[in-house]
A and B are shown apart, each in its own frame.
Chain A
Amino acid sequence: MVSIPKIYSGVTEYRLRPGGALHTTDSYLKFATGREGVSKNLISMFDSMPMSKPIVIFIRRGDAFSSGLGMTTAYLASPHAVRLCEIDGTHPDNELYRINPDKVAAVVLCRLNRPSWLPAGKVFGPGLEIVSIGEKG
């Protein structure tokens, strides 16, 4: 009896929806960016980048949303190698200065501000921006 209300609310909280191959990541990314079907776009984008170069993902220290977004992006970026960089604050300018653009395929900003000197990337909602550094030849 004690647990019935909790279980009832757990069962009735969500409705059955058609599930796709990227069902979970789409849900996570919709929650973070507000957009539908982002996973497929991310995979296509990463596929268009040179596989030999890593993806650098910037996340904000102490921000669980940023960190979750970064890890989900890292999950989808395979088979690229990824580097997760945790920074304090919302401006990764110093860290970006240290990056050699010839050795990186893309920079991903998770709930962080892109410096004005960095070319605009593809924006997926308010929290996710991917700046492609070198396209596949």
Chain B
Amino acid sequence: MNAIGLFGAFATLFAAGYGLLVLLIHRSARLSLAEQIAFSWLFGTGAVSLLLWAFGFFADGLLLQGLVSFVCISLGMVGWNLKKPSQTRSKARWFEVVLTPVIAIEIAIVFYLSFVHTLGWDGLLNWEIKARYAFANGGVLPAAYFSDTGRAFSHPEYPLAIPFTELWLYLWLGEPNQFCAKTIFPAFYVAGTFLVAAFTARLSRRTWLGLLMAALLFFVPQITVEVGCASAGYADFPLSVFYLAAAGCLFCASERGNDVFFRLYAACLALLPWVKRDGLILWIVAAACGVFVILWRRKSPLSLVAFLPGIVIICAWRLYLNAMHALQAVDFLPFNLETFRTHVDRATPLLSALLAEFCNLPTWSLFWFIVAVAFLYALPRMRDPGVVALLLALIAPIVLYLSLYLFSSWPNYLDHVGLSISRLLMQVTPVGFLLIALAISRRPERRPQRVQMPNRATCAIARSERTAVVELA
């Protein structure tokens, strides 16, 4: 029974996401199967959680589930009718043939890990709790929950993308189920792996490099086995996948005339603040990168409309919390110049803590060392707006996150840092992989016959390339 329920929930999530994806690309681009799966999952979770929240204002119970299912199926049917034929594939190289099963095994291990471990502390008490309470109340979070001081520890002010995706599973299962709720997290890992492979292949023109980067993602312990890892039920890894999608699409959109990826960027951007409160910072950074690309490429001023959906989501959620008299988190002091002035002496210890975290091999392996080298390699390519945007997308969130600790209200702010910095850094880790790929692919392709525009990396080129994992065929 659980299997049927899960199938229904996942099928409707993918249908909604696929429909939205096809509407966004609107017959003007071909995406690989892996990209379609990854974007369908991201848009599906975003759309279903938003729909559950929006329809929850006037419906609950079976009516709510029915309405959202109807929209999902309708979107799926629209997507199916508008879909384009698959890309043609050429023969894979031996290296790609080897890497594809490696990635498949890694994905299987992440699924296995998510089932042998319980939900992490925040996974249960910050995220799943909302799904459970909403399910018990007909699919709508009880108004009393937001002002319940006894449950303030569960951060009622956190946004609902993750808990309402879990709620969607519960509605299909007919019961809240902590074990089944975990299935969504390896799905985010799959989406992240596919996007790393696909974006790397696009920006480097090398399929094998995409597969290699996707395979290496698994070897960052923070993503695989550390506290707050991809399978722990925390929102940090899903947020990192949404951020990767936004940054990767923006890189592709930095080419002239690539409006399809700009629309995909806008959609991923809008969902960032809906996944986690920290997503607001990522939204600000990604939006700033978007403005930079718009100005550099002299895109139409209408491109600024891309920021509207995110602004609507941010404002709507803020208004909702105010209307519910939601309790506010007490982790930070007021953000003002006075607090900054009195706490600026924390800057040096914070930088030391950050450096210590970068050098923490058990948590990060060699990842940040390689990123540092990749950063140096990327510097000579700063005339490419896509590269600038990618560098900003990696560095600016780290700087902003570190600055936030200046305002920490914890008695020992370094405890605050120690408890959360690895998870915050994980949010930009997949983007770091894109930077590494960019550095590796710095030299021009040796076989120009496979490349349509040999002078620069281009997302258009990869349209004709095969992506073995990515095609999954």
Contacts and interface: CB of A to CB of B under 8 A. Distances in A.
B440 interface: no
Contacts of A10: 113, 221, 224-225
A21 B177 contact: yes
Interface stretch (B129-137, B200-208, B326-334, B451-459): B129-137
Given A2-B361, A11-B225, A79 B112 contact: no
Interface in B357-398: 361-362, 365-366
Contacts, number: 96
B221 A68 contact: no
B178 A75 contact: no
B220 interface: yes
Contacts of B137: 79
A24 B124 contact: yes
A54 B151 CA distance: 12
A28 interface: yes
A81 B176 CA distance: 20
B5 interface: no
A10 to B, nearest CB: 3
Contacts of A22: 178
A83 B150 CA distance: 4
Interface in B178-198: 178-180
Contact of B124 (A9, A19, A25): A25
A48 interface: no
Interface stretch (B71-79, B141-149, B463-471): B141-149
Interface residues of A, number: 34
B217 to A, nearest CB: 11
A84 B121 contact: no
Contact of B148 (A14, A20, A24, A81): A81
Contacts of A74: 150-151, 153
A21 B219 contact: no
Given A24-B178, A75-B125, A15 B116 contact: yes
A107 interface: no
Contacts of B125: 71-72, 75
Contacts of A3: 219-221, 224, 365
Nearest to A54: B150
Interface string B138-180: 0000101000111101100000000000000000000111111
A23 interface: yes
A74 B149 CA distance: 11
A45 B457 CA distance: 63
B119 interface: yes
B132 A4 contact: no
B224 A68 contact: no
Nearest to A16: B116
Given A10-B225, A24-B124, A71 B153 contact: yes
Of A6, A16, A24, A83, most buried by chain B (CB within 10 Å of CB) is A24
A87 to B, nearest CB: 15
Contacts of B148: 81-82
Given A4-B219, A74-B151, A79 B179 contact: no
A75 B129 contact: yes
A75 B366 CA distance: 39
A16 B221 CA distance: 20
Contacts of A98: none
A60 to B, nearest CB: 15
Nearest to B220: A3
B185 to A, nearest CB: 13
A80 to B, nearest CB: 9
7 contacts: A24-B178, A54-B150, A74-B150, A75-B154, A78-B132, A79-B133, A84-B150
Given A11-B109, A11-B112, A75-B154, 5 more contacts: A4-B219, A6-B362, A16-B115, A57-B150, A79-B137
